[in-house]
Structure 1
């Protein structure tokens, strides 16, 4: 009881001791959960020595790529045409366009994972980790195609008349159709709870906290409460409008922030163009490090798999929630759009980050060992003292877009779980909690909370990948039919 009194007092008082107690209690609670749950999620598969969840994610990507006949290659160009609006029919049912669905999903993935995550991977696994990041993203394209196609097949209308879709819906409906009603319910509920908790942790608390830490590194006198309230206000303005408002905002923010970041990286790369071939050689050479199979190789592989999974979210199923709202009567078409996500997020943005870090040798600086975004900031600093400040702006935009997109994922999961009982109030309660947590993010030292958020993110992949493997015949048949019609030229073109 005393602990809970301290919790409440810390929230409403400026007492430093009370806030420190609050942080300790929060970390203790989540630390206990992590200690009980993590061993199962990261249990090593015998003879492979790869954590169970990462093994499932890698295996899932390979399975879907072969199952759908390398759809990530066959329909890649078609996906670009769809995003350009060539096949957009304004009369199709849905809330947002193909392009807005892609940018909404990308806004949740393109962010700190591309800037800090890649730096962490290179720092821990060396240049070779980048190769495995590419490989996992290539196979991840097929997983994203699968989940977003399923999301379109099984999407429904919620209590407000908006589109509701994603793994919680297609796992429930798909498995129920095949006679697994109880398992369907368990998978749907488990995925929804994991999504809500992941949105609070990784999609919200972590983003707000790291935004403040980055601001503080450039401006030591920054006030955490001011940063938290400002971010919460800006997010709240967009959240009220739902997916349509999110789609409008992200369709402008994502291209802008990706463009700035890539151009900045290219400036560093082209100014050291003679070093680029050597960097690529080091990436391929060290992907199969001389320590070989049981030592360095597996360490590098695991770093690449982890960072790719967190970077593009392939297999987690979160992006399918946004893509379910796209306007189309062709489910496979939205899957084709979705599979472009890992290319943009990982093969382009993460590669630019990696080359920038490797060329400048930022990951080799002794004072930056074990760091993340600081490594990327150091690399940008080679262009001039003003560049880390511009990077700061980009990171804040990245974090903001992630916050608003993950709120939508959490809302959809909340609607699925509580919409029938609480009605419109379910979303209102979720939004209030979400905005409140944004305010707390910069104030807290989050420690074990981040580990918990990571566990929830990875937990989403369990029911999603296993369920999709069992249901994959449906997408396989529809994909084959779609490909035949596409090659025959029978599809209507609007632009």
Structure 2
């Protein structure tokens, strides 16, 4: 299979090279943009709020939903934080051993009348990956360019105060992640060979009383997640990684100019090797890459911060003062709040539903245990990593209004320059980190898209390899071509996932509360 994949990628090279020479990619991009612009404009429609500020409508259900879940689950994002850490550490692993793997015993323990037979059978199965591996697989899709470029854009437009609202959004997003990932485990499918199929497609079809509505929402979600996996989870990642590699190797004088296809081919081969093995192989890679790249990035950030320790107090003053009194910055307080929430939502994907696909593969009998683990994800992604980036930018003075028109590629270079002011050689390390961020995001998003693909087209090996080959070809395309409209369309599809997912989360919240009570009772009985 790997030989077939390689041969197809090699066949794509001359076509891509020809496309670059003829400018065909730009023509395709323009035609695609004209055809899909209505969808992108709808998803990213901005509601005028003040003379200077407009708010994306998609932020409203994300923020209001997160607020609702935080209150409904009695501030689980704070009260359950240390329990979540203990679960990842394996503190409660013995609870899993109490549940006999026998299907009949599993049925007697999970007697929800609305659970169909598949769900009951599933909950007697152990899953595929550990709590830690599920967490890193999901984190690998979210910790990435949004933490580097996205934060730079947020503080450039909204000032230092945007950081405060990013942190608030991160804490609220923890509640949404808890709900969707608990449901992902509760309603997952497990094949006879142990392969797990989970995510919003399954809890929307299985969990909702109105089965017709559930199937419609699940089908929409599956379509959106496939589109998002090809674009934002693939082409955008490899394209931005290539731009940074080209910049670090000489910019316009780099030997890589015009050779994006070569970079894409190497990445495609590496991605292909990993994703052919499924979630187990993906998890084995991400549980090594994610802690490594986050540790490097956080360590470098702390170095810059502590080298300028005398400026830390002033940085936090700018963050808090700017959050509530940002005169003249991006339309005032509302503008700063919008920038913070927007970039946090783009970064941690809480409420989008994607993470529940990775978390559903966990080895557990208690759905809420993985929901608890998942709530750590926005904390690590937004509260820790994004805040570190923001502090570096603020301390090094890179929050000027003249940077407000940055695109993602320029924003990465701004962040790189901020680190370089304290660590001269760090741009090289950041380049490696960005490539790892892009690589890990691609392999995780390939899994998300694959789950949507098999939901629509069936679980045969033929369908599996068809999707994975197409995905790898798009890696080469993404590095070689200038497909701005395609990436814009895919970003819109990622946020479109929120619509069917959030409807399901609100309706199924009582089911999650039941799972939480069941798990917390098990922990209490263990201590008794």
- Give a deviation string over 1:230-261, Cα, whole Å, max 9, x none: 00011111011100001101000000000011
Tell me the residue number matched to 2:185.
Answer: 152
Tell me the residue number matched to 1:3.
Answer: none
Tell me the residue number matched to 1:87.
Answer: 92
Tell me the residue number matched to 2:136.
Answer: 103
Matched, 1:296 2:327: no
CA distance in 1, matches of 2:326, 2:387: 23
How many residues of Structure 1 are paired with residues of Structure 2 in the alignment? 479
Matched, 1:286 2:319: no
Matched, 1:275 2:311: yes
Contact 2:142 2:441 in 1 (8 A): yes
CA distance in 2, matches of 1:413, 1:457: 13
Q: CA deviation at 1:372?
A: 1.0
Tell me the residue number matched to 1:400.
Answer: 439
Q: CA deviation at 1:59?
A: 0.3
**Structure 1 272/99 Cα, relative in aligned 2: closer, same or farther at 3 Å?**
same
TM-score by length of 2: 0.86
Tell me the residue number matched to 1:166.
Answer: 199
Matched, 1:42 2:45: yes
CA distance in 2, matches of 1:13, 1:356: 39
Match of 2:60 among 55, 58, 61: 55
Contact 1:225 1:442 in 2 (8 A): yes
**Structure 1 9/415 Cα, relative in aligned 2: closer, same or farther at 3 Å?**
closer
Secondary structure in 2 matching 1:15: helix
TM-score by length of 1: 0.91
- Give a deviation string over 1:352-393, Cα, whole Å, max 9, x none: 111011101123395795131011100111133311111111
Contact 2:43 2:496 in 1 (8 A): no
Tell me the residue number matched to 2:105.
Answer: none
Tell me the residue number matched to 1:262.
Answer: 298
Q: CA deviation at 1:32?
A: 3.2
CA distance in 2, matches of 1:85, 1:110: 23
CA distance in 2, matches of 1:463, 1:18: 42
Contact 1:96 1:327 in 2 (8 A): yes
Alignment map for 1:107-118 (pairs within 5 Å): 107-118=140-151
Contact 1:68 1:479 in 2 (8 A): no
CA distance in 2, matches of 1:134, 1:248: 30
Matched, 1:352 2:388: yes
Q: Which runs of 5+ in 2 are unaligned?
A: 1-10, 102-124
Q: CA deviation at 1:475?
A: 0.9
Q: CA deviation at 1:441?
A: 1.2
CA distance in 2, matches of 1:133, 1:267: 22
Match of 1:33 among 17, 21, 36: 36
Tell me the residue number matched to 2:114.
Answer: none
Contact 1:158 1:415 in 2 (8 A): no
Contact 2:77 2:375 in 1 (8 A): yes
**Structure 1 161/415 Cα, relative in aligned 2: closer, same or farther at 3 Å?**
farther
Q: CA deviation at 1:87?
A: 2.4
Tell me the residue number matched to 1:136.
Answer: 169
Tell me the residue number matched to 1:215.
Answer: 245
Tell me the residue number matched to 1:316.
Answer: 352
Secondary structure in 1 matching 2:149: helix
Match of 1:387 among 426, 446, 450: 426
Match of 1:203 among 218, 233, 237: 233
Alignment map for 1:459-478 (pairs within 5 Å): 459-478=496-515
Q: CA deviation at 1:297?
A: 1.8
CA distance in 2, matches of 1:353, 1:392: 15
Tell me the residue number matched to 1:123.
Answer: 156
Q: CA deviation at 1:409?
A: 0.6
- Give a deviation string over 1:418-447, Cα, whole Å, max 9, x none: 115xx2211111001000000111111121
RMSD: 2.4
**Structure 1 252/491 Cα, relative in aligned 2: closer, same or farther at 3 Å?**
farther
**Structure 1 290/41 Cα, relative in aligned 2: closer, same or farther at 3 Å?**
closer
CA distance in 1, matches of 2:401, 2:332: 21
**Structure 1 45/84 Cα, relative in aligned 2: closer, same or farther at 3 Å?**
farther
Secondary structure in 1 matching 2:29: helix
Contact 1:114 1:345 in 2 (8 A): yes
CA distance in 1, matches of 2:73, 2:291: 30
Q: Which runs of 5+ in 1 are unaligned?
A: 1-7
Match of 2:69 among 47, 61, 64: 64
Contact 1:228 1:440 in 2 (8 A): yes
